[in-house]
């Protein structure tokens, strides 16, 4: 902080000169908090997707607009707007999913076969599968121990 004050002008009213070092003092540090959050977002994206060679971009945009004195139309002050943006490569699934387009404007897909919408699903409901499994177990128990069963 001492070095920061050496490179920045501070007057006796507590006003500070705006520069890169003093941005952290604006609005209780909110500009710096947003910048730090966006920086973490950018680095996290690189860590989570190291195979994506696309560049990540962090920008701090400062827009200035004059504020005129209402009586004299002379410059009174400057309004600054800070915009922080983080751009990461788009997340894209490289596979295309095939859907059936219907005349009424809807699209249908097969949840069990996302690449073939015409694939028929199994006609069994969970209760029917359990009933078949129970019957198979019962039949297996009824096989006589004396009978010779050959493996298939």
pTM, to two decimals: 0.58
CB distance 115 to 97 below 8 Å:
yes
Torsion of CA 88, 94, 100, 104, to 10 degrees: 10
Give the domain ranges of the chain: 2-87, 100-140
Q: How many helices (H) and strands (E) does the chain have?
A: 3, 4
Written as six digits, the tokens of 114 are 């996302």
Q: What pLDDT digit, counting tens, does each position of 127-140 carry?
A: 655 665 666 666 55
How distant, in Å, are the alpha carbons of 98, 99, 100, 111, 118 from that of 105?
15, 12, 10, 19, 18
Q: What pLDDT digit, counting tens, does each position of 75-105 carry?
A: 999 999 999 999 999 887 778 888 889 899 9
Give the distance from CA 88 to its chain's centroid.
9
Q: How confident is the model at residue 45 (pLDDT cuts 50, 70, 90)?
A: very high
Other residues' Cβ atoms within 10 Å of the Cβ of residue 86: 19
């Amino acid at each position: 902080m001492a070095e920061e004050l050496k490179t920045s002008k501070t007057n006796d009213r507590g006003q500070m000169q705006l520069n890169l070092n003093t941005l952290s003092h604006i609005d209780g540090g909110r500009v710096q908090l947003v910048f730090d959050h966006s920086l973490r977002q950018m680095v996290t994206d690189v860590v989570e997707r190291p195979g994506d060679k696309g560049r990540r971009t962090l920008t701090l945009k400062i827009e200035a607009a004059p504020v005129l004195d209402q009586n004299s139309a002379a410059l009174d002050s400057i309004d600054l707007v800070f915009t922080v943006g983080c751009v990461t490569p788009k997340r894209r699934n490289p596979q295309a999913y095939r859907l059936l387009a219907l005349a009424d404007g809807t699209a249908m897909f097969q949840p069990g076969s996302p690449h073939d919408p015409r694939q028929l699903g199994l006609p069994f409901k969970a209760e029917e599968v359990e009933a078949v499994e129970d019957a198979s177990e019962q039949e297996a128990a009824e096989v006589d121990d004396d009978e010779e069963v050959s493996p298939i």
